[in-house]
Each structure stands twice: as C-alpha cells, then as structure tokens.
C-alpha cells in the first residue's frame, strides 16, 4: 500500500505548479486553468486524508469543491469574455484601469 505522505507530496507539487502558472502565464484562460490545477491538488489531499481516516467526508468535501469550481469557471469565463470584448486581448497587463 502507498503511504499517505506520497499522496500529499503529489498534491503539494501540483499546488506549486498551479501557483507558478498563475504568476508566470500572461493569458487569462491559462491563469484560470492554473487555478483549476490548484483546486485539484487540494481535492487530492482531501480524498487522501479522508481515506487515511477511514471516512467518506473527504470525498464529500471534494464534491463541494467541484461544484464551486464549476461556478468559478462559469463566472470567470464570463468575465474573460466581457473583458475580451472591450480590449480584444487576453493579456492581464491590458486591464490596468478599473473603468474605461
């Protein structure tokens, strides 16, 4: 059997990759994808901890995280579409003013 620590290491590495993606990419869609990677990393550690404790609570929290991720993707992509319509760009550096 695989020790709990190995799952947590995978989860930490995925979370770090997602964080790096948010800071390194200059494309709003890739930034949203990096946030999805981070959410999935947290999901993995939830399920691993839940399995280690012998309860289903980890799976249920993962279910809620997925729902929130779906809502976040819908609203986030709607914002991306609205921004693209104004500036014809997906570069976050193009959106520096609050009102134009």
Partner 1 sequence: MPDAVLFYVFAAVAIGASLLVIGQRNPMYSIMLLIASFGALSALYIQLDAPFVAMAQIIVYAGAIMVLFLFVVMLLNAPQEDAAQWDRTHPLRRPGMGRFGAMLAALLIVQLVWALVRVNDAGTAVGARGDVADLSSVRSVGRVLFTDYMFAFEATSILILVAMVGAVVLAAREERR
3-state DSSP of 39-84? HHHHHHHHHHHHHHHCCCHHHHHHHHHHHHHHHHHHHHHHHHHHHH
CA geometry: angle at 59 spanning 54 and 62, to 5°?
A: 145
CA geometry: angle at 62 spanning 82 and 38, to 5°?
A: 55
CB of 31 to partner 1, least distance (A): 10
CB of 19 to partner 1, least distance (A): 6
- Tell me whether residue 81 or residue 98 sits nearer to partner 1 (CB atom): 81
CB of 93 to partner 1, least distance (A): 7
- Tell me whether residue 9 or residue 97 sits nearer to partner 1 (CB atom): 9
CB of 57 to partner 1, least distance (A): 7
HSE toward the beta carbon, residue 95, CA cutoff 13 A: 17
């Amino acid at each position: 059997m695989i020790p709990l620590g190995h799952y947590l290491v995978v989860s930490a590495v995925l979370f770090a990759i997602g964080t790096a993606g948010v800071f390194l990419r200059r494309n709003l869609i890739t930034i949203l994808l990096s946030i999805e990677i981070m959410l999935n990393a947290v999901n993995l550690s939830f399920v691993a901890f839940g399995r280690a404790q012998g309860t289903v609570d980890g799976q249920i929290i993962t279910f809620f995280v997925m729902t929130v991720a779906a809502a976040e993707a819908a609203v986030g992509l709607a914002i991306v579409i609205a921004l693209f319509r104004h500036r014809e760009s997906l570069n976050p550096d193009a959106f520096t003013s609050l009102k134009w």
